[in-house]
Structure 1
Amino acid sequence: MAKANVTFEDINVTVSVPAGTRVIEVSEKVGAGITYGCREGDCGTCIMKVTKGWDNLSEPSVLEDKVLRENMAGKHNRLACQAQVLGGDISVKPA
């Protein structure tokens, strides 16, 4: 199974995780500063900034895209509860 290296810039920690893992799951385990509410992609609380490896994450769903637009998120923002790692190197930080 493919692995990915996810770096949480706010705490300077890099973790190797299997492909398909949602970023919020890793964030919780390492104590990163990405907060969350619903975990379903509805509330927009877990917006994060992807600073490296944008293409190494799953494509945003229609719901995620809608929530990001409603929250006026920037181009490289994603919902940590929806973004799944695909492989490679990814760096994120709270938005």
Structure 2
Amino acid sequence: MPEIEISNLYKRKIITNSTEKRALEIIHENFIDWMHACGKKGRCTTCKMIVEEGMENLGELTAAEEKFRNQKRLADNERLACQAVVLGDIKIKVAEHNKFPHMEYSD
């Protein structure tokens, strides 16, 4: 069962029994707020997650992610949570400019 650790959300860990879901779906199913402005369509970068460990445990880049990489809006260590399929354990964090004001972060 894949595990998602959100390192700057007080090391919040999520365990899922699915390996076919996108990161944002799993995060929301566990009642964690995560910014997303385009309705999970891959049209913006507000759901960006910084991947600290486990990039190899995410599915292939989608066309939307490739587009943002080419535009330099998505770094090599970043993925869109609405697009990235979780295949195994990952450790991620919320980008500073994508943090919600109503949530407490550990850094």
The alpha carbon displacement at 1:71 in A equals 4.9
Distance 2:37 2:72 in 1: 15
Question: Counterpart in 2 of 1:14?
Answer: 13
Runs of 4+, deviation exceeding 4 Å: none
Structure 1 counterpart SS, 2:26:
helix
Aligned residues: 91
Distance 1:46 1:71 in 2: 16
Question: Counterpart in 1 of 2:73?
Answer: 72
**Unaligned runs of at least 5 residues, structure 1:** none
Structure 2 counterpart SS, 1:75:
coil
Summarize the Cα distance change of 1:58–1:49 in structure 2 as closer, same or farther, 3 Å threshold: same
Deviations for 1:38-85, whole angstroms, at most 9, x for unmatched residues?
A: 101011111110001000000111222102433532211000000011
Distance 2:79 2:70 in 1: 11
Distance 1:68 1:46 in 2: 14
* Identity rate, percent: 31
Distance 1:71 1:81 in 2: 18
Question: Counterpart in 1 of 2:94?
Answer: 94
Query: Higher strand fraction: Structure 1 or Structure 2?
Result: 1
The alpha carbon displacement at 1:25 in A equals 1.4
**Unaligned runs of at least 5 residues, structure 2:** 96-107
Distance 1:44 1:13 in 2: 22
> Root-mean-square deviation (CA), in Å?
1.6
Question: Counterpart in 1 of 2:59?
Answer: 58
Q: TM-score, normalised by structure 1?
A: 0.84
Q: TM-score, normalised by structure 2?
A: 0.75
> 2:65, 2:74 within 8 Å by CA — same for their partners in 1?
no
